[in-house]
């Protein structure tokens, strides 16, 4: 008869429990990297290399190449790293070029590490989670989309910087008690620029500025004269000149940036249509940095954005109500052309943070608020488009007002932006044109739904009386 001691029974019990709760190995050749500005810590599976399986590397180019060589020697095929600022990009792009499968993961998904926290333990924890298949990959754009994204974001920054200089010019005028910026709608329009250049040239008589007033200015000429009588402080004139020079510089930079964006759109159009891209066009500027052929509207690219978008997508996404050329360009630069990286329109809306973050515990919904994170440029573009349809007399305008009466303005913005995102996803993935119901059909459908709801409520009241 085989007798076992109490200690042997406990040992076998623990071993059995360990076998039960042990997670399966999904990625056998997986590595984890803790990213930093001056230090990258790389962890690989135990026993796959000679020496330590957790190593520290620098962040210079030679160090990045050393990481790639060591991972290749260890037989690593897939790598996971946190999306830490922009520090992951150089290493991530290098690993992708060398054929590694790169997982860029949300830092929130790798937080729950037990024990004392340091870079080495973080790298090991990321490696273990990735080995067990517990990490989800973030969206990574292809190379051409990444180039377009960089250029479009730089264009947005140039416009923001230009707006800042205009505000500073307005402040300088206000401190000189020159109220011209309150009389004309656009200080950087034809009339405003001519007046500022006259001021910087030494003109001080208010009546002499009337010759610069364009015929489209609706303000009374006497009010314009009164607004141009000030104290002409020297230091404010200096600041006005400095900021106006900066504004012209930013405008010149903006035109050059848009030239690069157009060339990149040509490259993407050529790739998607198996054609040859056109060479970069020479842009002619005036001495003040303006285009000879002025844009149709302010802050709109000088090139035909709609034609490029239609050629790249194979469908005209500007048919969607409220979506402008700039918004569509922002969305393309952030999401690319292959939206099938998101399995469905619902996944696409979730990535844009345009749907509730439902939290369920004990079978009950405990929270359905949106995640507290800054929306990316694509989400902001859809939100702006949603705000543009709120007063329109078509399908999406009616939907916005219905959602506004249900949950308020913010609720309506998110709900309408989500609907726009789903329409955009379906158009791009299925190459289907946007063919909504006309207003009459939509109103008749809404009336039938309303009648059905009232009849249901009436029948319920009849049952209660009976």
Mean pLDDT of 145-149: 94
Q: Is the pLDDT of residue 108 over 50?
A: yes
Q: Write the pLDDT tens digit of every residue in 301-341.
A: 888 899 999 999 999 999 998 999 999 999 999 999 999 99
Q: Percent helix, strand, coil in the chain (nearest 5)?
A: 55, 5, 35
* pLDDT (0 to 100) of residue 366: 74
Query: Quick one: pLDDT band at residue 113, thresholds 50, 70, 90?
Result: low
Pick 19 or 95 by higher pLDDT: 95
Q: Which of 134-138, 233-237, 270-274 has the highest mean pLDDT?
A: 233-237
* pLDDT (0 to 100) of residue 287: 44
Residue matched to tokens 């709609």: 306
* pLDDT (0 to 100) of residue 26: 86
Q: List 105's β-bridge partners, or say none.
A: 82
Q: List 31's β-bridge partners, or say none.
A: 79
Strands (E), 257-396: 359-361, 364-367
In 3D space, the residue among 423, 210, 218, 400 whose CA is nearest the CA of residue 315 turns out to be 423
* pLDDT (0 to 100) of residue 372: 76
Q: Write the pLDDT tens digit of every residue in 264-301.
A: 999 999 887 765 555 445 545 444 444 445 455 678 88
Query: Quick one: pLDDT band at residue 6, thresholds 50, 70, 90?
Result: low
DSSP 8-class letter at 132? T
- Cβ partners under 8 Å of residue 55, min gap 6: 41, 42, 70
* pLDDT (0 to 100) of residue 22: 66
* pLDDT (0 to 100) of residue 85: 85
* pLDDT (0 to 100) of residue 168: 97
* pLDDT (0 to 100) of residue 17: 42
Mean pLDDT of 62-91: 93
Give SS3 for 54: strand
- Cβ partners under 8 Å of residue 349, min gap 6: 355, 418, 421, 422, 425
CA–CA separation, 80 and 34 (whole Å): 9
Query: Quick one: pLDDT band at residue 21, thresholds 50, 70, 90?
Result: very low
H/E stretch holding 329 reads helix 325-335
Residue matched to tokens 């922002």: 330
Query: Quick one: pLDDT band at residue 398, thresholds 50, 70, 90?
Result: confident
Residue matched to tokens 């989309």: 145
Q: Which of 229-233, 274-278, 394-398 has the highest mean pLDDT?
A: 229-233
* pLDDT (0 to 100) of residue 439: 67
Query: Quick one: pLDDT band at residue 237, thresholds 50, 70, 90?
Result: very high
Q: Is the pLDDT of residue 4 over 60?
A: no
Tokens of 363: 């079978």
Q: Is the pLDDT of residue 459 over 80?
A: yes
CA triple 170-174-177, angle to 5 deg: 140
Query: Quick one: pLDDT band at residue 114, thresholds 50, 70, 90?
Result: low
DSSP 8-class letter at 5? -
Query: Quick one: pLDDT band at residue 161, thresholds 50, 70, 90?
Result: very high
* pLDDT (0 to 100) of residue 288: 42
Pick 379 or 465 by higher pLDDT: 379
* pLDDT (0 to 100) of residue 20: 42
Query: Quick one: pLDDT band at residue 364, thresholds 50, 70, 90?
Result: confident
CA–CA separation, 100 and 29 (whole Å): 11
* pLDDT (0 to 100) of residue 434: 86
CA–CA separation, 466 and 402 (whole Å): 34
- pLDDT averaged over every residue in the chain: 86
Asked whether the beta carbons of 40 and 67 are under 8 A apart, the reply is: yes
- Cβ partners under 8 Å of residue 420, min gap 6: 320, 322, 323, 382, 385, 386, 396
Asked whether the beta carbons of 198 and 209 are under 8 A apart, the reply is: yes
* pLDDT (0 to 100) of residue 286: 47
- In this structure, of 103-107, 269-273, 378-382, 407-411, the range with the lowest mean pLDDT score is 269-273
Q: Which residue intervals of 352-430 are DSSP H helices? A: 377-388, 395-407, 409-430
Q: Which of 248-257, 297-306, 440-449 has the highest mean pLDDT?
A: 248-257
Q: What are phi and psi of 367, to 5 degrees?
A: -165, 145
* pLDDT (0 to 100) of residue 280: 46
Pick 43 or 366 by higher pLDDT: 43
* pLDDT (0 to 100) of residue 408: 92
In 3D space, the residue among 120, 73, 121, 127 whose CA is nearest the CA of residue 105 turns out to be 127
CA–CA separation, 361 and 428 (whole Å): 36
Query: Quick one: pLDDT band at residue 19, thresholds 50, 70, 90?
Result: very low
Give the dihedral of Cα atoms 436, 335, 339, 403; nearest 10 deg. Answer: -40
Mean pLDDT of 105-119: 76
Strands (E), 124-248: none
CA triple 121-127-133, angle to 5 deg: 140
* pLDDT (0 to 100) of residue 279: 44
Sign of the CA dihedral with 237 first, then 238, 243, and 244 last: positive
In 3D space, the residue among 97, 94, 99 whose CA is nearest the CA of residue 35 turns out to be 94
* pLDDT (0 to 100) of residue 462: 86
């Amino acid at each position: 008869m085989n007798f076992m001691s109490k200690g042997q029974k406990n040992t076998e019990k623990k071993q059995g429990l360990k076998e039960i709760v042990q997670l399966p190995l999904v990625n056998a050749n997986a590595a984890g990297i803790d990213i930093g500005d001056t230090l990258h810590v790389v962890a690989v599976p135990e026993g796959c290399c000679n020496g330590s399986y957790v190593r520290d590397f620098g962040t210079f180019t030679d160090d990045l190449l050393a990481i790639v060589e060591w991972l290749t020697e260890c037989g690593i095929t897939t790598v996971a790293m946190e999306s830490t600022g922009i520090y992951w990009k150089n290493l991530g792009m290098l690993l992708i070029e060398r054929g590694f499968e790169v997982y860029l993961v949300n830092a929130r998904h790798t937080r729950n590490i037990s024990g004392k926290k340091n870079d080495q333990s973080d790298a090991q924890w990321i490696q273990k989670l990735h080995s067990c298949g517990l990490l989800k990959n973030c969206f990574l754009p292809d190379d051409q989309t990444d180039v377009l994204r960089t250029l479009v974001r730089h264009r947005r920054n140039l416009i923001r910087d230009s707006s800042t200089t205009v505000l500073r010019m307005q402040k300088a005028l206000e401190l000189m008690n020159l109220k011209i910026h309150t009389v004309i709608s656009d200080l950087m329009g034809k009339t405003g620029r001519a007046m500022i250049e006259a001021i910087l040239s030494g003109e001080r008589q208010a009546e002499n500025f009337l010759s610069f007033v364009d015929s489209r200015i609706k303000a009374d000429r006497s009010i314009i004269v009164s607004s141009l009588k000030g104290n002409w402080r020297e230091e404010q004139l200096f600041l006005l000149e400095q900021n106006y020079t900066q504004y012209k510089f930013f405008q010149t930079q903006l035109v050059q940036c848009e030239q690069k964006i157009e060339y990149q759109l040509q490259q993407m159009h050529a790739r998607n249509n198996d054609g040859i891209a056109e060479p970069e066009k020479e842009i002619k500027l005036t001495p003040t940095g303006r285009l000879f052929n002025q844009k149709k509207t302010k802050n709109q690219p000088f090139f035909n954005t709609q034609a490029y978008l239609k050629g790249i997508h194979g469908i005209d996404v500007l048919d969607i109500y409220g979506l402008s050329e700039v918004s569509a360009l922002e969305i393309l630069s952030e999401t690319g052309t292959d939206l099938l990286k998101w399995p469905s329109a619902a996944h696409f809306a979730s990535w844009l943070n345009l749907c509730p973050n439902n939290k369920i515990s004990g079978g009950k919904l405990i929270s359905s608020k949106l995640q507290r994170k800054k929306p990316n440029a694509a989400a902001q573009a859809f939100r702006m488009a949603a705000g543009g349809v709120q007063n329109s007399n078509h399908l999406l305008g009616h939907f916005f007002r219905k959602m506004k009466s249900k949950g308020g303005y913010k609720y309506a913005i998110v709900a309408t932006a989500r609907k726009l995102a789903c329409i955009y996803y379906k158009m791009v993935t299925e190459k289907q044109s946007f063919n909504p119901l006309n207003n009459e059909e939509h109103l008749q459908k809404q009336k039938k739904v309303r009648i059905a709801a009232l009849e249901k409520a009436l029948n319920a009241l009849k049952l209660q009386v009976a």
